[in-house]
Amino acid sequence: MGPGWRTASAALVCGSVAIFAGLRRAALAVPRPDAVRSRPGRAWRWRNLLVSFAHSVLAGLWALFSLWHSPELLSNIQDGYSVSGHLLVCFSSGYFIHDSLDIIFNHQSRSSWEYLVHHSMAISAFVSLIITGRFLVAAILLLLVEVSNIFLTVRMLLKMSNVPSPALYEANKYVNLVMYFIFRLAPQSYLTWYFLRHVEVQGQGAFLTANLLLLDAMILMYFSRLLRSDFFPSLRKGSAGRDVDGEKFLID
């Protein structure tokens, strides 16, 4: 990648940040459920989740399209390249930057520190891909997780709004579990195996491998929380009667 393309990529990332800032302002006009309006501490989280939902829909479908349009990318994870995939990485980098700033500027860092760690990992990894032009396909595979996040975010929005129809939550609960396996656990497991087996443990390869292993631990932790919360509530510890207004992620 030449200097001009890197400059253009930086402009695309900044443009993405601006797009999500606009979406955050637009989310102010979306009607809030009574359960959100009656709890002032939930207003920020509701708006933040709406923006997250928009990113998940756009990025998840974009990642699927990129792989469907150019399936040959899967045979060259280290050096495969597509313009669509590059634009997707810039787009999602902008979202992660925007969401990090949203968390920090709204004084939610303490309650959302795990996502700040996740976002810092994603931003640093994606920037390295943009600069070097390598491992772009790995980023596209990782962004398949956004398909799963569509249903995970719907779950959190339903839980926040105290939706009166438990059947809707129950249906989404099982769809969310299936999508978690297909679009989160499966791509992550494959990429971890691939990096440990085929990627040099030095330089960018070592950095991305370390990121993947840390992300593995985070995903398994979140999966454990999800199972306890939705399928084995008797195993939950210390959550009874807890006020969740200060939490962004309603997993427990």
Q: Is residue 9 pLDDT above 80, yes or no?
A: yes
> What does the pLDDT read at residue 236?
66
> What does the pLDDT read at residue 3?
62
> What does the pLDDT read at residue 251?
43
Lowest mean pLDDT among 3-12, 47-56, 101-110: 3-12
> What does the pLDDT read at residue 35?
86
> What does the pLDDT read at residue 1?
57
Q: Is residue 246 pLDDT above 80, yes or no?
A: no
Lowest mean pLDDT among 43-47, 214-218, 234-238: 234-238
Higher pLDDT, 146 or 31: 146
Q: Which residue has the tokens 């709890």?
A: 39
Q: Name the band, by pLDDT with cuts 50, 70 and 90, for residue 134.
A: very high
CA distance 42 to 208: 35
> What does the pLDDT read at residue 233?
84
Mean pLDDT of the region 59-63: 98
CA distance 69 to 51: 27
Phi-psi map region of 165: left, alpha, beta (phi>0 left; psi -120 to 50 alpha): beta
Mean pLDDT of the region 138-165: 92
Lowest mean pLDDT among 1-5, 12-16, 206-210, 239-243: 239-243
CA-closest candidate to residue 78, choices 133, 9, 1: 133
Name residues whose C-beta falls within 8 Å of residue 15's C-beta, 6 or more positions apart in sequence. Answer: 94
The pLDDT mean for the chain works out to 90
Name residues whose C-beta falls within 8 Å of residue 109's C-beta, 6 or more positions apart in sequence. Answer: 103, 116
Q: Is residue 22 pLDDT above 60, yes or no?
A: yes
CA-closest candidate to residue 160, choices 73, 18, 49: 49
Mean pLDDT of the region 162-188: 91
Angle, CA 75 vertex, CA 146 and CA 133 arms, to 5°: 70
DSSP per position, 122-162: HHHHHHHHHHH--SHHHHHHHTTHHHHHHHHHHHHHHHHHT
CA distance 166 to 162: 9
CA-closest candidate to residue 55, choices 108, 119, 2: 119
